[in-house]
């Protein structure tokens, strides 16, 4: 029996081998109810990756003697969620790991750590919001900007061994009291 013959079997008898597309009719528990031709059967997921079927998805199903298994996803309508219990590691042994999303990439966690020998951030715009930010730089903190504005609602304290301000124009200090010395 050829694969072409198997694909055209519309309503397989329980003792015939079926291999072909099936549409998810409903999802209840871990085995979706799928439509094969004009009949509906439960099909167990037998995929090498976690997958949560959604009503309307088209799956590749194999079955014989009343047992049916999902062995592939032909067209998925919903999103794909990978869920694991315990720690998970992704490792590109001899190359780079790249995460790409046409509409963005989001990383969430109670605690997120970036550990790198060198970290580069390239963006057209960066916005940060936080309750508190602490930075420690052992070497030099060097900022090059077209303009810099700081709006501080409370106190501003700057301490240094030496300080200098150099401008090409006017320096303005405006306060109710100015203490020098």
The residue extents of the domains of the chain are: 3-75
What pTM does this model have? 0.57
Query: Cα–chain-centroid distance for residue 9?
Result: 39
Would you state the pLDDT for residue 177?
93
Whole-number Cα distances in Å, 5 to 12, 13, 65: 12, 14, 18
Percent of the chain with pLDDT over 90: 76
How does pLDDT run across 50-98, given as a tens digit for each residue? 788 999 999 999 999 889 999 999 999 877 777 778 999 999 999 999 9
Superfamily of chain region 3-75: Nucleic acid-binding proteins (2.40.50.140)
How does pLDDT run across 138-175, given as a tens digit for each residue? 999 999 999 999 999 999 999 999 999 999 999 999 99
The token duo for 137 is 């730089």
The token duo for 105 is 């990439």
d(CA 16, CA 67): 11
């Amino acid at each position: 029996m050829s694969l072409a013959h198997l694909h055209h079997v519309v309503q397989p008898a329980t003792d015939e081998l079926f291999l072909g597309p099936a549409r998810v009719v409903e999802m209840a528990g871990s085995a979706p109810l799928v439509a094969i031709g004009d009949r509906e059967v439960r099909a167990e997921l037998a995929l090498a990756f976690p997958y949560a079927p959604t009503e309307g998805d088209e799956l590749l199903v194999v079955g014989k003697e009343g047992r049916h298994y999902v062995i592939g996803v032909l067209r998925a309508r919903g999103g794909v969620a990978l869920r694991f219990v315990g720690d998970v590691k992704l490792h590109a042994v001899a190359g780079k790991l790249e995460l790409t999303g046409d509409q963005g990439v989001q990383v969430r966690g109670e605690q997120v750590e970036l550990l790198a020998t060198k970290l580069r951030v390239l963006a057209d715009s960066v916005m940060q919001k936080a309750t508190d930010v602490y930075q420690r730089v052992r070497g030099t903190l060097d900022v090059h900007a077209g303009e810099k504005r700081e709006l501080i609602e409370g106190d501003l304290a700057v301490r240094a061994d030496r300080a200098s301000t150099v401008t090409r124009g006017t320096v303005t200090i405006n306060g109710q009291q100015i203490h020098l010395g």
